[in-house]
Amino acid sequence: MKKAFKILGITLGIISLLLLAIPFLFQGQIKDMVKNYLNQNLNAQVEFSDVDLSFIRSFPQAYANVDDLTITNKKPFEGETLATVKSIAFTMSIKELFKTANEDAIVINSINIDEALITLKTNTLGQANYDIALQQDNNTETTKEQNDTDSSFAFDIEDYAITNSALTYIDEASKTEVFITELNHEGKGTFSAEKSELDTNTEANISLSLDSTKYLNNNHIKLEAILGLDLDNQKYTFKDNKAYINQLPLEFDGFVQLLEEGQNIDITFENPGSSFKDFLAVIPENYSKNIANVETTGNFKISGAVKGMLTEETIPTMNINIVSNNASFKYPDLPKSVENISINTSIKNTSGNADDTFVDIQTLNFKIDEDVFKSSATLRNLTQNMLVNANIDGTLNLSNITKAYPVELDNELTGTLKGNLNTNFDVNAIETNAYSRIKNNGTVSISDFVFSSEDIVNPIEITQANINFKPGTITLKNFNASTGQSDLYATGTIDNLLGFLLSDKKLQGNFNVNSNKFVVRDFMVPDEDTGEDNKTTSESESLKIPDFLDCTINADAKEVVYNNLTLKDVKGSLVIKDQQASLNNMTSRIFNGGLSINGLVDTKNDTPTFNLDLGADNFDISQSFKDLELLQALAPIANVLQGKLNSTLHLSGDLDSEFSPKLTSISGDAFAELLTKQINTENSPLLSKLENNVNFIDFKKLNLDDLKANLEFNNGHVNVKPFNLKYEDIDIQISGAHSFDKTIDYNVVFQVPAKYLGSDINRLIGKIDDQEVNNISIPVTANIGGSFTSPTVKTDLSSATTNLTNQLIEIQKQKLLNQGSNTIKDLLGGLNDNQNQDTETQTNTDSTNTNSNTVEEGVKDLIGNIFGKKKQAKDSVN
């Protein structure tokens, strides 16, 4: 007995070792066979990482697994991936592995496909990427070889499964897109019999779009079906089945038969029950929530028939009906119910031409509280340019929507919508703004409505809005609203309201807008790039002009608030398009004067920019330079002036997150005219410093009449072209430059008459006793550096001294030479006066030199006294 067990143990061990070892002998053979078979029969490149073979995993059958399969298309879809599969597992009898090439094909019993991603595509030329089977050659010998190759495998499948997979179908010609995700499908049956049954179970999510219109959006479907298989006639019959669309059960009856010219379809279906709860089951669960405890009354029936040929030119005829009478529903957790529900809808095609399919919504009525809503519509030409004819008549309290139905909205709805409207249009007319094909008649009004969105900073509260519809014209009769601190009263015309409401088109129109107070920030939006999900902007966000606006606004606002500025009586035209605002003939009152604006503000790019022409008329100087940072930067010294300002400015540059100009980015030019007679040096360290260094001028008595200046600025630097001032009979010229960081480099040239040089210099001039001396003036230049808050003043006393000295010496010299010349003439009349003539000439020359030295020394001392302290031929610096 022990010996028997020992023999049995050894035998089992050997068998186990053989079961483990033999697959390694056949693994390379299977791998090469699979790859050769696929590449020889497909017009595509097939690759996979490995083939595993096991006798243990599915004993007593052999198990083969192909990993990481990839099928890549050749022309005309060269390089595109048709399919990727994580794994394909086969089971077969072990004896199949021992067949030779001359024997029958290897028979596969089961297939399991996991994580298959398949993309089926048909281009505009009708070429399909899945048409990859190589064409058979008519040559007899070639055909025989091909048949030999094809016989490598045969399928006698008893069960199969596809798990965790996805399928995409794209038909570019018909603009059809089908997306099937989370696909799990399994079937059991015998495919080798001429007639058999296949028991299947399928679950997936499906999305369907036709010409950009989405008919199914990730709807969950489930099908449990027994299919009768008539392989000889390629006919597949629905025998015992139940399908689910979302949670709506449907029973099918009929068949699908494959013919050379297409598919012959004859199917009828209906929901087995008749409760209105079945209607809620049609709606995706994400929106309908749990309907198990929903109370319903009334009936709901969906039934249909699809019959005919599906070919490249035709589709089956169809007649699908959806009916519900006097129904209601109430969710247990919600306070309100929806009552008096009537639905009568048909989807039909009687010709077999796809373009003739239409939807007829004869009735879609309901009631919430006392609000009754009625509607009807027909939708035709579904596969191309859909035609819509709809009627709406009723009242809807928007806040009741979430009280009666568990819909989750980003923003709470409030307000009352009333409408009596007929609309007739085609979808292409909306997309192309072909307003002549959009025919609307009726009225729509909304009251006490609050609208909030990520596209706006603050919620918009619409007190009342009334819109009249006539063919070709949509009139906004009145629109009373507020947002933030702003209020609006508008009328006008709207060009494409349907395009704005039903698609991603922009709101176009012409509007007249009045406002008592308009705060610019209330109507800006956060920059999408910031990623913020709130309704208000943070300090780091850039403000944007809303992208959905494409309109012209004629504005009349009593008060407009822009940052820290308040503008009164603002009037003008505003053209908004592509996140740009063009300002035309905008006028307002500010700083006790008038302001005019023309130009462009552009918020389309990451950094907003502006390019504006500004006109200032009778601005209050002290107020404007106090409140307007830009003017402070352009002319900081102007804050000492009292009076009025006229100016024209051309400006361009960037805007910061607060929509204020970035000073370092500004370039442009300005012309300014000051209407003032007052100056306050106490407010200016610069003037105080200058006044200490020029003691013959009282800056409070400067003549500022007709003062004009031209400025140019760029990259934070302001260049001031020379302009002139007058102090009594002293001419003053100012020029130079400064930076927005307050550093300065200015030259002030004083043309100082001799009479201001003091009694000593006047006595000196009196000794010269010449009328020309009384008209002498000397240029004294004060160079101002440092900054406006800490200035330095340097005067060129040495050059002024030299200048005056040279003038006085020249006058004295000419005078003495003239006197000497007369004396010589007299002496030349006597024959004996030759010696006296030489003596006189030498005397005059010595006298001139002596006077020159005396004048120069006196001028040096006197000019030094004029500019503060005595200097000895050195420049004055303070």
Q: Where are the domains of the chain?
A: 261-383, 504-728, 761-771+797-877
Q: Are 348 and 308 in contact (CB under 8 A)?
A: no
User: What is the signed CA dihedral for 5, 10, 11, 14, rounded to 10 degrees?
Assistant: 160
Strand pairing report for 565-577 and 549-562 = antiparallel
Q: How far apart are CA 33 and CA 53, in angstroms?
A: 13
Average pLDDT, the chain: 78
Cα–Cα distance list, 109 to 153, 156, 234 (Å): 11, 5, 21
Confidence of residue 149 (pLDDT cuts 50, 70, 90): very low
Give me the pLDDT at residue 482, please.
Answer: 93
The fraction of the chain above a pLDDT of 90, given in percent, is 25
| Closest by CA position to 101, among listed 158, 161, 153, 164 | 153
Provide the pLDDT confidence category of residue 233 given band limits of 50, 70 and 90: confident
Tell whether the model's pLDDT for residue 395 goes beyond 50.
yes
**At 69, is the secondary structure helix, strand, or coil?**
strand
Conformation bin of residue 346: beta by default, left when phi > 0, alpha when psi is -120 to 50: beta
Q: Give the Cα separation of 204 and 207 in Å (integer).
A: 10
Whether omega before 60 lies within 30 degrees of 0, making that bond cis, reads: yes
Mean pLDDT of 610-626: 85
Angle between helices 2-41 and 140-150 (to 10 degrees): 140
Pairing outcome for strands 387-397 and 439-451: unpaired
Cα distance between residue 275 and residue 272, in whole Å? 10
If one compares 544 and 831, the residue with the highest pLDDT of the two is 544
Please state whether beta strands 195-210 and 176-189 pair in parallel, antiparallel, or not at all (unpaired).
Answer: antiparallel
Cα–Cα distance, 580 to 394 (Å, whole number): 39
The pLDDT assigned to 527 comes to: 55
- Report pLDDT digits (tens) over 479-488: 999 999 999 9
Tell me phi and psi for residue 75, to 5 degrees.
Answer: -55, 145
For 82, phi then psi, to 5°, come to: -80, -45
The conformation of residue 649, written as its DSSP 8-state character, comes to E
pLDDT of residue 773: 59
- Nearby residues of 514 by Cβ (< 8 Å), 6 or more positions away: 488, 489, 490, 555, 556, 557
- Characterize 126-141 residue by residue with b for buried, 16 or more Cβ atoms within 10 angstroms of its Cβ, and e for exposed: eeebbebeeeeeeeee
Percent of the chain surpassing pLDDT 70: 73
Alpha-carbon span 480 to 486, nearest angstrom: 11
CB neighbour class for 529 (10 Å; exposed up to 12, middle 13-18, buried from 19): exposed
| CA proximity to 863, closest of 781, 785, 793 | 781
pLDDT digits (tens, 9 = 90+) for 238-247: 888 888 887 7
